[in-house]
């Protein structure tokens, strides 16, 4: 590797282990992502939805020899364990918290042993799990957040509480839904939205001058409400925007001019 990468320990993420003879069939019927073909060391992105098709947990799925690890928001780990335990019934699976740090290496370096390319978007970099940290310059989580926001990729902080549909959060564009895998919780609503093109809102990056507005601050298109601000840093944020109100319109937030950012991967 010509240049040592930058890496950050993501303390807002945590790990759950799912193992046992039935782990694949158990998760296959729950998650938006296919796990039947998941190989050890392979990392995929997906979600657990409500029966109504709204996002409950975004997660990464890491294949292991004896099952998988689920990389989830630290604040939601216990709730995920409780939800999975409800679904377990007679399935022969074991669900437990794992004390392993989640590490992001960015921007995308050459391959690093024990790390996998972020399945959402290669430009996000690599993702891996401790205890061994990679060589290179250690950065704080804010640096990784700036990298993510610059690419216009939503994160757990943008999802809210059981209100967002996965397609609104661009899971269909970020390899977070396998539409060929068959049934999963919330599949009917998700497939119908994709099939009929009923996508009224999407999470998009916006830029503006100054500090980020508070979560939930209105984005206006003239006098009309066009959406709301989500996570952000100085000059940049994610926002959930109504597509029919932003095209060709001047946007503002807290009286400041705002622009929808551009990302090569994003084609809403």
Residues 149 and 206 in one domain: no
CATH at 61: 3.30.70.1400
Residues 14 and 70 in one domain: yes
The whole domain housing 69 covers 10-102+143-158
- Is 71 a domain residue? yes
Residues 149 and 234 in one domain: no
Q: What is the mean pLDDT of residues 21-39?
A: 97
Q: How many domains does the chain have?
A: 2
Distance CA 55, CA 160 (A): 9
- Is 42 a domain residue? yes
Residues 154 and 210 in one domain: no
Residues 152 and 246 in one domain: no
Question: What pLDDT, on a 0 to 100 scale, did the predictor assign at position 86?
Answer: 95
Q: What is the mean pLDDT of residues 60-70?
A: 97
Cβ-proximal residues to 239 (8 Å cutoff; 6+ apart), any chain: 203, 204, 205, 206, 219, 227, 228, 229, 230, 253, 258
Residues 97 and 212 in one domain: no
- Is 218 a domain residue? yes
Q: Is the pLDDT of residue 1 over 50?
A: no
pLDDT in tens, 209-236: 999 999 999 999 999 999 999 999 999 9
Give strand ranges (E) for the chain. 6-9, 13-19, 43-49, 55-64, 67-73, 94-98, 102-106, 115-117, 126-129, 137-138, 201-207, 218-221, 224-233, 236-242, 251-253, 256-260
Q: In this structure, are strands 251-253 and 43-49 parallel, antiparallel, or unpaired?
A: unpaired
Asked whether the beta carbons of 203 and 149 are under 8 A apart, the reply is no
Residues 95 and 150 in one domain: yes
Band the pLDDT of 197: cuts 50, 70, 90.
confident
* Beta-ladder partners of 106: 6
């Amino acid at each position: 590797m010509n240049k040592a990468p930058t890496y950050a320990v993501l303390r807002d993420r945590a790990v759950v282990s799912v193992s046992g003879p039935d782990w694949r069939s158990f998760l296959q019927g729950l998650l938006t992502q296919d796990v039947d073909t998941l190989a050890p060391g392979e990392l995929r992105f997906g979600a657990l939805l409500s029966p109504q098709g709204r996002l409950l947990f975004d997660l990464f799925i890491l294949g292991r020899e004896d099952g998988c690890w689920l990389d989830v928001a630290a604040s939601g780990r216990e709730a995920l364990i409780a939800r999975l335990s409800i679904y377990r019934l007679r399935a022969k699976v074991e669900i437990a918290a794992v004390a392993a740090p989640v590490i992001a290496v960015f921007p995308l370096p050459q391959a690093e042993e024990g790390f996998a390319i972020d399945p959402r978007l290669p430009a996000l970099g690599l993702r891996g799990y401790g205890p061994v940290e990679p060589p290179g310059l250690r950065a704080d989580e804010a640096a990784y957040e700036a990298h993510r926001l610059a690419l216009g990729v939503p994160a757990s902080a943008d999802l809210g509480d059981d209100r967002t549909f996965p397609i609104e959060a661009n899971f269909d564009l970020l390899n977070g839904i396998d539409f060929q895998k068959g049934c999963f919780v919330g599949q009917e609503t998700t497939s119908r939205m994709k099939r009929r093109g009923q996508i009224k809102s999407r999470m998009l990056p916006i830029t503006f001058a100054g500090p980020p507005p508070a979560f939930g601050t209105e984005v206006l298109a003239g006098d009309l409400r066009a959406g709301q601000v989500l996570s952000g840093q100085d000059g940049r944020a994610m926002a959930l925007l109504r597509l029919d109100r932003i095209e060709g319109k001047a946007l503002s937030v807290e009286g400041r001019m705002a622009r929808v950012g551009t990302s090569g991967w994003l084609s809403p």
